[in-house]
Amino acid sequence: MASLRTAVAGTAARKSVSRPGRPVSAPRMGLVPAASRLPLDEILVGDCIDAMNALPAGSVDCVFADPPYNLQLGEGSLLRPDQSRVDAVDDAWDQFSSFAQYDAFTRAWLTAARRVMKPNATLWVIGSYHNIFRVGGALQDLGFWILNDIVWRKANPMPNFRGKRFTNAHETLIWASRSAESKGYTFHYEALKGGNDDVQMRSDWFIPLCTGDERLKGADGQKVHPTQKPEALLARTILSATNPGDVILDPFFGTGTTGAVAKRLGRRFIGIERETVYADAARARIDSIEPLSQAALMVAPTKRAEPRVAFLSVLEAGHIRAGEILTDARGRHSAVVRPDGTLMVGPASGSIHKIGALVQGLPACNGWDFWHATRDGKPVVIDVFRGLMRAAMGSAA
């Protein structure tokens, strides 16, 4: 949960949604941008809604938001069984007088964020059971389209010291597009699958809390920020939904995890933070980051983006012969290759996809992954031959 607690945009809204707490830190001169320019790789110190409203409309590729959770801890300190005090979140920026006030605050910052998003931009917002359901409802009311909810399962959660509830071992991220009509958003499905041992990336992520050297601490040895998020969590969101060079806006910047990961991964960032102590820590942290090389950051082309190669072309190139028998990986099904690039099973003939679906009794099949040719006594998936042709086409180009 990043630190920025802001009032609701607009004078009238601020009058109707006032609450006690620390006054907003004064913005640094020259940091709030004019609409004509984008403050790339800068930290804007001040009110997040005012700062977002000063940005050009439709100017960012992604938003990562870690708003106040409104933890509702109640009066008094949270104590362990030995009566020692738990270092919980009790800062003024996380305190709201009512759910209605929190809802108004949520709608205000979401509205400001939606305005600066490009048509195909996406938004990530993280929260706990205290606030995420209210945030999700506001998202939908404002026209966002929810793509996924991600469960961040913590490898090392804080125990439930009172023993009256289940241990809170997860938080929830909502991933949403700007609207239901936003179909061209970025999602690196194949890259995520490749990094996950060729298994689809699931919506439950097992990632430890931020600890050790990654946790920022002050001269007194205490945590600079109570809820600093792990870089691994930010890295997965950024790698999944942005490209190198994209602009990521974080309106609750805290100690700059979004900026640090964005810089390392070759993205640009805009951070907004109300608390000067957090902004200063974030700036020093980000200055120490070394970006990865361009070679390491290159986005592998997806199969859909690669040149189309017809099965008939594979035959014509001599990789597979007419009359050859293709089988599935286990040899349970077989089909004969016809000279026209279709397959035949009994009286039925059709494409590699249609016949693959037919023999399995399925409505659809990716024939490139299903059918295998025998080479040196071993089954070889026919997509290998399509890959050889694509490589040759790339060399010729």
Q: What is the pLDDT along the chain (397 residues), one digit of tens a residue?
A: 443 333 333 333 333 332 332 233 333 333 444 444 899 999 999 999 999 999 999 999 999 999 998 765 444 455 445 554 445 555 564 567 788 999 999 999 999 999 999 999 999 999 999 899 999 999 999 999 999 999 999 887 877 767 788 888 899 999 999 999 998 999 999 899 888 888 999 999 999 887 788 877 777 777 777 778 999 999 999 999 999 999 999 999 999 999 999 999 999 999 999 999 999 999 999 999 999 998 888 776 666 667 889 999 999 999 999 999 999 999 999 999 999 999 999 999 999 999 999 999 999 999 999 999 999 999 999 999 999 988 887 766 5
Q: What is the pLDDT of residue 72?
A: 59
Alpha-carbon distance of 88 to 79, in angstroms, equals 10
Q: Which residue has the tokens 């930010």?
A: 234
Alpha-carbon distance of 363 to 14, in angstroms, equals 56
Tokens representing 353? Answer: 């996809």
Burial class (CB in 10 A: 0-12, 13-18, 19+), 76: exposed
Indicate the residue type of 154: K
Strand partners, 172: 127, 151
Tokens representing 121? Answer: 């931009």
Q: Which residue has the tokens 């000067």?
A: 276
Tokens representing 84? Answer: 């020692």
CA dihedral for 14, 107, 153, 76, sign (positive or negative):
positive
CA dihedral for 209, 211, 216, 218, sign (positive or negative):
positive
Burial class (CB in 10 A: 0-12, 13-18, 19+), 102: buried
Q: What is the pLDDT of residue 35?
A: 40
**Domain coordinates of the chain in residue numbers?**
42-72+85-296, 311-395
SS (H, E, C) the chain: CCCCCCCCCCHHHHHHCCCCCCCCCCCCCCCCCCCCCCCCCEEEECCHHHHHHCCCCCCEEEEEECCCCCCCCCCCCCECCCCCECCCCCCHHHCCCCHHHHHHHHHHHHHHHHHHEEEEEEEEEEECCCCHHHHHHHHHHCCCEEEEEEEEEECCCCCCCCCCCCCCCEEEEEEEECCCCCCCCCCCHHHHHHHCCCCCCCCEEEECCCCHHHCCECCCCCECCCCCCCHHHHHHHHHHHCCCCCEEEECCCCCCHHHHHHHHCCCEEEEEECCHHHHHHHHHHHHCCCCCCHHHHCCCCCHHHCCCCCHHHHHHCCCCCCCCEEECCCCCCEEEECCCCCEEECCEEECHHHHHHHHHCCCCCCHHHHCEEEECCEEEECHHHHHHHHHHHHHHC
Could you tell me the fold of the domain covering 42-72+85-296? Answer: Rossmann fold (3.40.50)
Query: What phi, psi does 57 have (nearest 5°)?
Result: -65, 145
Listed in sequence order, the residues at least 6 apart from 39 whose beta carbon sits closer than 8 Å to its beta carbon are: 31, 33, 55, 270
pTM (two decimals): 0.68
Q: What is the pLDDT of residue 301?
A: 65
Our CA dihedral for 183, 128, 207, 118, rounded to 10 degrees, sits at 30
> CA dist 391 to 44, 254, 313, 371, 384, Å?
46, 46, 14, 21, 11
Alpha-carbon distance of 276 to 256, in angstroms, equals 12
